[in-house]
Structure 1
Amino acid sequence: MSAVRTVLGDVSPGDLGVCDAHDHLFFGTPRLPGQELRSLTAARAELTAFREQGGGAVVQWTPYGLGRRAADLPPLSRETGVHVVAATGLHQAVHYDEGTLARLRGRLAEVFVAELTEGIGTSGVRAGLIKVAGGFHALDAHARWTMRAAAEAHHATGATIAVHLELGTAAPDVLDLLCGDLGVEPHRVVLGHLNRSPDPVVHRHVAESGCYLAFDGPSRAHHATDWRMPDAVRALADAGFGDRLLLGADTTTAAARSVDGGPGMPHLLRRVRPRLVDAVGEELVGRILTENLGRAFAVPWR
């Protein structure tokens, strides 16, 4: 039987409730100095605010080495009543120092599998997805290395692979590599940030593969394309791909948190949801926020 692996254990997809398919409770990178998500108090407040808007589950895409604070996730989930899914995986090379990358050479897939099956570090918290990243309109050697490791870990565990698309680009290249060369079934791949490159031809092309398409950036840093998202979602729904769409808030900086004056997680349900209801109807938006995520991330763990 398939289940979504949360930080408190495996959960039936139907029990998740309303879902934020891509977000961050903790996150830190040298690319965003001074904007790290490190505060436990702020993370608790953000989850509580999301819950008050009707939220039931959050998928945290923070991968290896970027401040996941895995041991803090189970108590946060218990205290707020929000399911939390943790990630393994690796981001773009620019987010790491060379020493960290050197230590992973030759054993990256092994690390991913261990975090999916045994736990992240000494926390005992098992990851529920693999997060990797592409580049701007292309895949460099680092992206290909991480995606090969992700595919190996997927074949060993069944875990879904979620992909950060840089500014929404290179989606066909990602699918060619993961699903073509590396044998990952498209329905086990989530492509993130398609809202950042609202190209209807590319959207239709990747949707036809059978993968999941995430529109996951209504945060302060990415609001420039927000006004195009309802049209993109409607076009895909009209073409018959409504069951492949996901929504997330992707809060990556302290300033973007609702508790610090930004939109944060609650914005997804407070502002984005009603806007999409106007575009495609309440029934479809309800399915996108509940049923779709369960299918995208639920696997028969092995």
Structure 2
Amino acid sequence: MPHLTTVAGPLPVSAVRGPALPHEHLVLDLDRTGDDAAVLDAGRHLDTVTSELAALRAEFGLSLVIELTCRGMGRDPRALARISAESGVAVVASTGWYYEPFHPDEIGGTPVEQLTATLVQEIAVGLDSTGIRPGVLGEIGSHGERPSEPESRALLASAHAAVATGLSVATHAQLGRGGLAQLELLTGTGLAPHRICLGHQDLLDDPAVHRELAARGAYVAFDTVGKESYQSDDTRLRLLLALLEAGHGDRVLLSCDISRHGYLESEGGQGYGHLFRSFLPKARAAGVDDELIDLMTRRNPLRFLTGADTDDDAPATNANTDTDTESDTEEI
């Protein structure tokens, strides 16, 4: 039986009976301007985040959050452990490096081999001297159609570390761009495509790219659901239905990417529950059945993390269907 590595230790996949959110942030700090917007602070927001997750566990059976705040993003593994314990929702922590504007000094001109060793060490012994081990590499970032040179080194190091440790890699593709280049770079190391998730593809209005990524075996993340200032949910739904109609339901991951305290429900935002309360009902109304929703929201995240099918996995089924953004330095 495959196991996940969570902030509370190993967890058998059989224990995850409800949906997962595969790309979220529970604690982070990306403030570079002093306006405090791109922050989820362990001191100020931890109780609110915990309450939101606990409510989703009670209402929708939320069982797992993959938390992609990595090195240089203000991660706090002890806070993640507390959120998980108090909410009753399993949390998988991450390691790696975000895209270049947020690279810490340690990236510099450091060779890929040394960066790889840093990641492998964290995976083996835990994050920031806590003993809390990461269960995924992410969100490993790039911006533009091709990664910059430092971003390429970070991606390559993540891929080599994934091959060495058996973890999977989740990426940040700025505004959905560059996913094909990321996939090419990552798989060139020998990392299998089904251990890769290309991020933010719901911000790229290009169904052909989505089909190609899925056909190559990678996971396609529609992971900014509810961020209407970047993309409308109506467009996201259209893109999702097109990918499902092409037969790629087994390669879809859905999440909300809560990355600012203003997105929390307590501050009038859409919250972590927007996927369940708003987007999935629209998908059901468009003909997406519960079996396919379970595939996208539970079985796919587990298969992405472990590389193995769940015991009750079933073949993907197609949906029965009839049918300028914010500054990209702010996209998380």
Smaller-chain TM-score bracket: over 0.9
Q: What is the alpha-carbon distance in structure 2 between the residues aligned to residue 59 and residue 21 of structure 1?
A: 5
Q: Which residue of 1 aligns with 2:156?
A: 148
Asked if the contact 2:7–2:134 (Cα under 8 Å) also holds between the matched residues in 1, the reply is yes
Q: Report how far residue 49 of structure 1 moved.
A: 3.1
Equivalent of 2:182 in 174, 177, 198: 174
Q: What is the alpha-carbon distance in structure 1 between the residues aligned to residue 8 and residue 206 of structure 2?
A: 38
Q: Report how far residue 299 of structure 1 moved.
A: 4.8
SS where residue 10 of structure 2 aligns? strand
TM-score by length of 1: 0.93
TM-score by length of 2: 0.85
Q: What is the alpha-carbon distance in structure 2 between the residues aligned to residue 96 and residue 211 of structure 1?
A: 25
Deviations 1:71-108 (A, max 9, x none): 122222111110101010100121145x3434966632
Q: What is the alpha-carbon distance in structure 2 between the residues aligned to residue 117 and residue 189 of structure 1?
A: 20
SS where residue 230 of structure 1 aligns? helix
Q: Report how far residue 221 of structure 1 moved.
A: 6.0
Asked if the contact 2:100–2:141 (Cα under 8 Å) also holds between the matched residues in 1, the reply is no
Q: What is the alpha-carbon distance in structure 1 between the residues aligned to residue 95 and residue 141 of structure 2?
A: 12
| 1:1-302 equivalences in 2 (<5 Å) | 1-16=1-16, 17-31=18-32, 33-35=35-37, 36-38=39-41, 39-54=45-60, 55-97=62-104, 99-102=105-108, 107-131=114-138, 132-179=140-187, 181-220=188-227, 222=229, 224-279=231-286, 280-299=288-307
| Amino acid of the structure 2 residue aligned with 1:215 | F
| Amino acid of the structure 2 residue aligned with 1:12 | P
Q: Report how far residue 206 of structure 1 moved.
A: 0.8
Going from structure 1 to structure 2, the CA distance change for 1:233 and 1:219 (only over 3 Å counts) comes to closer
What is the number of residues matched between the two proteins? 298
Asked if the contact 1:195–1:226 (Cα under 8 Å) also holds between the matched residues in 2, the reply is no
Q: Report how far residue 111 of structure 1 moved.
A: 1.9
Q: What is the alpha-carbon distance in structure 2 between the residues aligned to residue 124 and residue 272 of structure 1?
A: 37
SS where residue 63 of structure 2 aligns? strand
SS where residue 115 of structure 1 aligns? helix
Q: What is the alpha-carbon distance in structure 2 between the residues aligned to residue 213 and residue 18 of structure 1?
A: 17
| Amino acid of the structure 2 residue aligned with 1:192 | G
| Amino acid of the structure 2 residue aligned with 1:9 | G
Going from structure 1 to structure 2, the CA distance change for 1:231 and 1:220 (only over 3 Å counts) comes to closer
Going from structure 1 to structure 2, the CA distance change for 1:143 and 1:225 (only over 3 Å counts) comes to farther
**Runs (5+) with no aligned partner, structure 1:** none
Q: Report how far residue 168 of structure 1 moved.
A: 0.4
Q: Report how far residue 264 of structure 1 moved.
A: 1.5
SS where residue 101 of structure 1 aligns? coil
Q: Which has the higher contact order (CA 8 A, sep 6+)?
A: 1
Asked if the contact 1:53–1:270 (Cα under 8 Å) also holds between the matched residues in 2, the reply is no
Higher helix share: 1
Going from structure 1 to structure 2, the CA distance change for 1:241 and 1:93 (only over 3 Å counts) comes to same
| Amino acid of the structure 2 residue aligned with 1:42 | T
Instruction: Give identity over the alignment, percent.
Output: 31
Q: Report how far residue 113 of structure 1 moved.
A: 1.2
Q: Report how far residue 56 of structure 1 moved.
A: 1.4
Asked if the contact 1:18–1:289 (Cα under 8 Å) also holds between the matched residues in 2, the reply is yes
Asked if the contact 2:22–2:66 (Cα under 8 Å) also holds between the matched residues in 1, the reply is yes
SS where residue 21 of structure 1 aligns? strand
Q: Report how far residue 222 of structure 1 moved.
A: 4.5
Asked if the contact 1:2–1:298 (Cα under 8 Å) also holds between the matched residues in 2, the reply is yes
